[in-house]
């Protein structure tokens, strides 16, 4: 599996570059698209068909990517709300129930966006697990747990919308 995450790696594998790599090596089976650009999923699918299985790697784009041909999801949010992420995937990909998938997506969107758009996604994941009474320890240095009350309140609201009232 090739992970295309230009924000973390500093390098972007474009759809034509991926197609060349697949053609030259013949051992690339999976591709995780993490640019947040939904058009890329369609471009890759048109270039490679079913030769490579596409995975969404941008949590708050999972519905769009699924509709355009992604068949999997590498979900950072699933570390905190795994059941909700599985249900969304099942509705969107396995059952192709767009109405129900969109309803679930709307419930999860604030949390998916908070985790995905934050440079502190790992910190939010750890705090989210703690809020759901699943302590998983603290982030590795140099990251620290969120301590700003506004950040914590925003995470709590997003989680409550995603999973219901928190204890």
Question: 2-37 pLDDT, tens per residue?
Answer: 999 888 789 999 999 999 999 999 899 999 999 989
Q: Could you tell me if 93 and 123 are in contact, meaning their C-beta atoms sit under 8 angstroms apart?
A: no
CA distance 41 to 13: 13
Q: Among candidates 137, 100, 93, 146, which has minimal Cα distance to 119? A: 146
Tokens linked to 135: 């302590």
Q: How confident is the model at residue 72 (pLDDT cuts 50, 70, 90)?
A: very high
The answer to whether residue 47 scores a pLDDT higher than 80 is: yes
Pairing of strands 2-4, 72-73: unpaired
pLDDT at 152: 80
Mean pLDDT of 70-83: 90
Residues 6+ apart with CB under 8 A from 12: 4, 6, 35
CA distance 36 to 57: 8
Sheet holding 2-4, edge to edge: 2-4, 30-33, 53-56, 72-73
The answer to whether residue 167 scores a pLDDT higher than 50 is: no
Give per-residue pLDDT as tens, 120-131: 666 677 777 777
Mean pLDDT of 56-82: 91
Domain boundaries, the chain: 1-74, 87-167
pLDDT at 166: 58
How many CB atoms lie under 10 A from the CB of residue 144?
10
Query: Is residue 98 exposed (0-12), middle (13-18) or buried (19+ Cβ within 10 Å)?
Result: middle
Mean pLDDT of 103-112: 94
Q: 74: which DSSP letter?
A: -
- On average, the pLDDT of the chain sits at 87
């Amino acid at each position: 599996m090739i992970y295309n995450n230009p924000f973390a790696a500093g390098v972007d594998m474009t759809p034509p570059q991926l197609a060349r790599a697949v053609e030259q090596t013949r051992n690339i089976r999976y591709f995780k698209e993490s640019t947040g650009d939904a058009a890329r999923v369609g471009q890759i699918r048109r270039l490679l068909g079913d030769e490579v299985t596409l995975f969404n790697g941008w949590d708050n784009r999972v519905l769009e990517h699924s509709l355009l041909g992604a068949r999997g999801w590498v979900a950072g949010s699933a570390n905190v709300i795994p059941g909700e992420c599985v249900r969304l995937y099942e509705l969107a990909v396995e059952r192709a129930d767009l109405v129900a998938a969109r309803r679930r997506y709307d419930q999860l969107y604030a949390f998916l966006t908070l985790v995905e758009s934050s440079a502190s996604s790992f910190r939010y994941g750890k705090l989210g697990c703690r809020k759901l009474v699943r302590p998983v320890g603290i982030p590795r240095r140099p990251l620290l747990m969120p301590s700003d009350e506004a950040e914590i309140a925003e995470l709590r609201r997003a989680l409550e919308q995603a999973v219901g009232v928190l204890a």
